[in-house]
Amino acid sequence: MNIWPVFDQFIASRCPLCRARDDGLCQRCAAALPRNHHPCRRCALPLPPEAPAAGLCGECQAAPPAFDRAVAPLLYQPPVDDLVARFKYHDRLDLGRLLGDELAGTLQAQSAALLLPVPMDAGGLRRRGFNQAAELAHLLSRRLGIPWSASLLQRARQARHQRGLGRSARQRNLRGAFFLTGRPPARVAIVDDVITTGATAGEIAATLKRGGAGWVEVWAVARTPIGDRRRKP
């Protein structure tokens, strides 16, 4: 007897944070999620409350990234970091759907001609069994009616692990790490789970613009505050 459908239904019928009976996050836990209320309009970095509305962070003023806009509705803080980790490393695809729905709700008024998930290197894909960015892109494609591609954007080489690296070191580490198999449309959205420094998205956006894209956005579930950049697993 196959018990997994029953097991999946049992998991999905409870809030993943407080275990209350609910289809996904209960209202109380959803209301308590750390939300990115005052982001930089370019990279979605959370800004101080006293910063001008729709302003730019210092880094984007000094050295604007190659992408034109980033959307990240949540902050990469507890319990969002735990939900992301369980999705990525413990095969909790139900949590990926939950996180993707949070992102999709922010994007209903946005548009792009194509969604491109950040590609994983072959070794990481074999170890994990799936690409979390591709899972999110697939969900957003269904929710928003925008096509997505797992083949147009490819990883050319395996970069050194990004954990613990600052923005400039990440940029050097990722140089030449991606390539295109065809010409992208004019408007593209890069999809990922978390924006840490924006270096990966910046390198991909530069690759896309060299290939012919005119406007590149980054759509992610969460943004890492500047003081917590080493926390992403």
Each residue's pLDDT tens digit, 204-228: 999 999 999 999 999 999 999 975 5
pLDDT mean over 164-186: 76
- For 18, 25, 61, 189, the CA distances from 22, given in Å and listed in that order, are 10, 7, 44, 32
CA 207 – CA 180 distance, rounded (Å): 8
How many residues comprise the chain? 233
The residues of the chain that CATH labels 3.40.50.2020 are 35-228
- DSSP H helices, 13-164, are 27-32, 58-62, 80-89, 93-106, 122-128, 132-144
**137 HSE (CA, 13 A, CB side):** 25
pLDDT category at 65 given cuts 50, 70, 90 is very high
pTM for the full predicted model: 0.86
Task: Please give the angle made by the CA atoms of 77, 126 and 183, to the nearest 5 degrees.
Answer: 85
CA 233 – CA 104 distance, rounded (Å): 23
CA 63 – CA 76 distance, rounded (Å): 23
pLDDT category at 45 given cuts 50, 70, 90 is very high
Q: Is the pLDDT of residue 162 over 80?
A: no
CA 223 – CA 129 distance, rounded (Å): 24
Query: Could you tell me the fold of the domain covering 35-228?
Result: Rossmann fold (3.40.50)
Q: Convert 188-201 to b/e letters by CB count within 10 Å (16 or more is b).
A: bbbbbbbbbbbbbb
Q: Is the pLDDT of residue 3 over 50?
A: no
Q: What is the mean pLDDT of the chain?
A: 87
Q: Is the pLDDT of residue 166 over 60?
A: no
Q: Please give the full DSSP string across 81-111, using - where no structure is assigned.
A: HHHHHHHHHS--HHHHHHHHHHHHHH-TT--
Site of tokens 């269904």: 142
CA 49 – CA 184 distance, rounded (Å): 37
